[in-house]
Structure 1
Amino acid sequence: AELATYYARNLGKYRLPERRVVRYATLSPTSLAAQAAPSDAEIAAAYKAQAQKFAAAELRTIVQVVVGDQASANALAAKVRGGASIEQVARAAGLEPATVKDTQKAAFAGQSSPEIANAVFAAKTGDVVGPLRAPLGFVVAKVASVRTQAAKSLAEATPELKASLAPQKTTALLTEKRNAFDDALAKTSFEGLVTKNQLTAQTTPALTATGQNLDTPTAKSDPALTPILAAAFAASPGDQPQTVPLGQDGSFALVTLDKVLPAAPRPLAQIRDTVVRDFQLDRAQRAANDVAAKVVAAANGGTALPQALSATGLKLPPLQPVTGPRAALIGNPQRVPPPLALMFAMPAKTTKLLEAPDKSGWVIVHLDTITPGNAQGNAKVIAGTQSDIGNVVGREYVAQFGKAVQNAIGTTRNAKAIASLKAELLGLASADQP
């Protein structure tokens, strides 16, 4: 009976948040890999569309420098034509050369201009071209190498084409599937869509909104379920299934809310051992409080604290002396031990009771002596105190001066005008406005 009463009195302590059971099935690029494999016809069509890419081509590696004015560009080009390294000459002038490797003429023209590309691709290996006018100055370029890329047959280009076509086809299939699911949701059940599309449905355990399974508290939540749970906790019982995007690759999940477990305390039968432990700790805590309260009463009644403790007949920890300055509370109050903080709120020769951290017991605090502070010789404390007093005195002088002026000339208060000004300063309508 005592255990049941304790449990009923502390239901909030054992209350579980709302949990939900969710059914879902996912579609990802992996699940569509077989369907997304490019066919021979698709590969052939892509090869034909990209014929220029796979045709034989002249490739050039070009080192170029952009110079701000023509005179400097002429000087730089002359040094390079004289045999100096274009990279060294450019860096000596505070410029950074750019190397364009294995580029075709059309691509280089897009990066620079048709005029510059024509000049560079008309030159031979080792030739210096320019200076040529560019949008940001003048270009000096050197042809580092020239080579011919052999044409690729359809068979040779197939691996590259497959690698580029498969992601495109996968994205298109995922979009098509999701659109089809969205169209069918109003008239087809979750199970019907799963069966028709040969998907694998999964059911979560009862989870919180953050993905925790309270039946296995040591297990970590699965980040992959975050968007699925967000959709499930936004749904109401009876809502139709929905599709939920899962990532940038087009993956999505078909999600339906299976069950809602409202917030409620765990049944006593399930957590009896935990409640028994808590009940015993609570009873021990209350018993300790009774003993400590009697010690405090005896000490405040004139009994010496050691005798009051001895009178309990219990084996208690030895008394621990605690000393400290008030400055400790001001400097870093968060790190001051609670018994020390309590002492500065107590008169001398008094005893008080303080609950220990984590409800682990009770601390009896007896203030024996108070030693008045003495700042003599402590320049830092004196200077700080003077500053504090100066601020207070300054405000007091201002207040007294204002009062003296009022008394000398006589004043009246216009309550309506004051209210109007206050409202205006606060950004509100003036007091005389409706």
Structure 2
Amino acid sequence: MISFFRRIFSSKLGLFLTLCFVGLIAIAFATADVSSSGTFGGVTGSGTAAKVGDSKLTSAELSQSVTNAFRGEQRENTGLDLKTYVNGGGFDDVLERLINSFAIADFGTKYGMAAGKRLVDSEIASIPTFQGADGQFSEENFRRAMQQQGISEAQLRNDFTRNLMADQLLTAAGFGAAVPQKLVVPYASLLLESREGQIATIPSVAFIENVKPAKAAVEAFYAKNASRYTIPERRTIRYALFEKSRFNDKIKPSEKEIAGYYSLNKSRYSASETRNLKQVIVPTEAAAQALAAKITGGTSIEQAAQSVGLSAAEVGSTNKTDFINMASQSVANAAFSARSGAVAGPAQSALGWHIVMVKDIKPIPGRTLEQVRTEIVSELTRTKIEEAMAELTVRLEDEFADGATLGDIAKAEQLKVEATPPLLANGQNPNDQNYKPIPEMQRLLPIAFAVDAESDPQVVEIIPGQQYAVVDVSEITEAAPPPLAQIEQLVTRDYMLDQGSKKAKTVADKIAKAVSSGTSLSKAVADAGVKLPNPERISSTRAELARQSQQGQVPAPLSLMFSMAQGTAKALAAPRDQGWFVVVLDKLNRGDASKRDDLLQSTRAQFKQVLGNEYTAQFINAMKADIGVERNETTLTALKKQLLGGN
């Protein structure tokens, strides 16, 4: 029960996030290749899977959304294949999320709500993928990412608009949900509940006969359980790395460029000065004049500022240009025309009227071209290399788009092409457990597993502005079980465990029945007719169970004990046919949280989120009912079959 709550409470608006943010950037609108008839026009790139208000969810968008969601799950669970994902409800989940997202946006539009262009722009600019090395939005990175994902700017903006509309509508849907005290106390008391019991283990190996099973039986077991041994999709990746350093010995600025740079930046190298300043800013000119007179009369700037409830701020050592940016042109003119030790101002900026004390002046002599030659050469070289690197990546992308191969580019640019063995999405080689991919592969793998078999090679940025790679997928090995001959020893072991597990179940059921009839667990185990481990005593609280659940470490027998009635026994299968458990609940100690204000408040807050999420879900259902949702079941069925590999 508690683990259920924990999963729901993982975010403040867990339901909102689940329903609306369906892979904001990852949704690529690719063309599907299935044909079917129906009232919407068939499963094609322009076919409609569902009508939501005035909007249409295309079969292409749904297909690519399902594929992207599957890829995301597969990165966490490398054993997952597309068929299992779709049959496990992945297709229906993505469909429902997209329909909800479209419905919320259409409902908001219908009743006069909008997400303005500036708001969408700011959201796009805040995405790290679209930012350059300086942390600012990069048009080049934006276009490259869009091209890699295969989506247009209009599609991306529509995505953001829908989700921003959802943010406006759903945030307040569950706000202020009230929770009755009579509902809170019983559930809070559950956390204080403790239980005591016993566990008996009936291992499968205790029933395995020391006889090699018949080959036909092993083959039949393998055919029935082939999915257990399925190796996920693997991809053979060809890549070529290149770095900015490849231009180090090729690019040198000319004398004309050096002289031109010096001339263009002459003010930077001419004689100048820095001044150490301290200032006070007051709101009116009259107050500033009075304060300046007080300082001129002999009062220190600190004391003068304190006398009017202000403080003097240290500006520190600065040049005039920087001080202009910090204050204003008029304030800087005043500060840099006063002598050392003098008071400048009042002068006005957007912040108010400045009184500036010039503490000291440090002159900086001018520098000749020869004196700054090394500095200029370094700066020009860096800039030219960055430009050359950018030009190279753009040129490679253009050549790939025109049909060039990785081999063509590698030969022309003198790049070394490397190839990996067939790898899983996480970089592992299922045929070699000791294989370790290069560190750069962690950046290349998501790209390699996102493209289609017929896609052009991709230019991937590994270290921004420093290192890149050209990536191509040369072979895709679909998820499939290996031939039985390769894993016959493993399958034979699993078959024998399976047979032993069936016998262990019979004994476990017999023991559980005997205990439920009044026999002690230890006696029932002793009477089983086979040598078994002695039973173990266990005890825990629901609070401890919740902590373990949060960490994903709850033993299945312990979890079962907290769902049983006192004095009962139940049999439970161990994972992977390892055997069976018999769990007995001897004693249940109920808790009382009526006087635990901390626990009551925590439980009330959690229930408030549950009720808030329920209100949000009902609000979404009401929006869908208001604008209308029509699903094209013919198209959806055909699309699901396509994803499963059918016609």
With normalisation by structure 2, the TM-score equals 0.50
The alpha carbon displacement at 1:130 in A equals 1.9
Q: Kindly indicate whether the alpha-carbon contact (under 8 Å) linking 2:511 and 2:521 is maintained by their aligned counterparts in 1.
A: yes
Partner of 1:364: 582
Structure number with greater CO (CA < 8 Å, separation at least 6) is 2
Equivalent pair of 1:21/1:206 in contact (CA under 8 Å) = yes
- Amino acid across the alignment from 1:231: I
- On the 8 A contact 1:25/1:254 being kept in 2, the answer is yes
Alpha carbons of structure 1 residues 220 and 198: separation in structure 2 relative to 1, 3 Å: closer
Map 1:222-261; keep pairs closer than 5 Å: 224-249=440-465, 251-261=467-477
From 409, 423, 426, the counterpart of 1:193: 409
Q: Deviations over 1:158-187 (max 9, x none)?
A: 232234323321221022212322333224
Residue 379 of structure 1: how far off its partner (Å): 10
How far apart in 2 are the matches of 1:365 and 1:279? 26
Report the Cα distance in structure 1 between the residues aligned to 2:288 and 2:623, rounded to whole angstroms. Answer: 66
- Quick one: structure 1 residues 34 and 85, their matched pair in 2 at CA, closer, same or farther if it must change by over 3 Å? farther
User: What letter matches 1:427 in structure 2?
Assistant: D
- The aligned residue for residue 13 of structure 1 is 228
Identity of paired residues, percent? 31
Provide the residue aligned with 1:268 in structure 2: 484
Matches within 5 A, 1:3-402: 3-87=218-302, 89-90=304-305, 93-104=309-320, 107-185=322-400, 186-217=402-433, 224-249=440-465, 251-296=467-512, 308-319=524-535, 337-338=558-559, 340-341=561-562, 343-344=564-565, 352-356=570-574, 360-365=578-583, 380=594
Q: 1:66 deviation in Å?
A: 1.4
Q: What is the CA-CA distance between 1:54 and the residue it aligns to?
A: 0.9
CA distance in 2 between counterparts of 1:82 and 1:3 reads 104
- In the TM superposition, residue 79 of structure 1 has moved relative to its aligned partner by 3.9
Structure 1 counterpart SS, 2:311: coil
Closer, same or farther: CA 330–202 of 1 in aligned 2, 3 Å: closer
What displacement does 1:356 show? 4.3
State the 1:103 CA deviation. Answer: 0.9
Whole-Å separation in 2 of the counterparts to 1:299 and 1:134? 87
Q: Give the length in aligned residue pairs.
A: 378
Note the aligned Cα RMSD (angstroms).
Answer: 4.0
Q: Give the equivalent residue in structure 1 for 2:203.
A: none
* CA displacement at 1:29 relative to structure 2: 1.8
Q: Contact between 1:210 and 1:221, CA under 8 Å: does it hold in 2? A: no
- Confirm or deny: 8 A CA contact 2:561 2:585 kept in the other structure: no
Larger radius of gyration: 1
| Alignment gaps of 5+ in structure 2 | 1-214, 596-620, 629-647
- 1: CA distance, partners of 2:623 / 2:340: 79
User: Which secondary structure state, in structure 1, belongs to the residue aligned with residue 246 of structure 2?
Assistant: coil
Give the secondary structure class of the aligned counterpart of 1:337: helix
How big is the shift at 1:358? Answer: 6.8
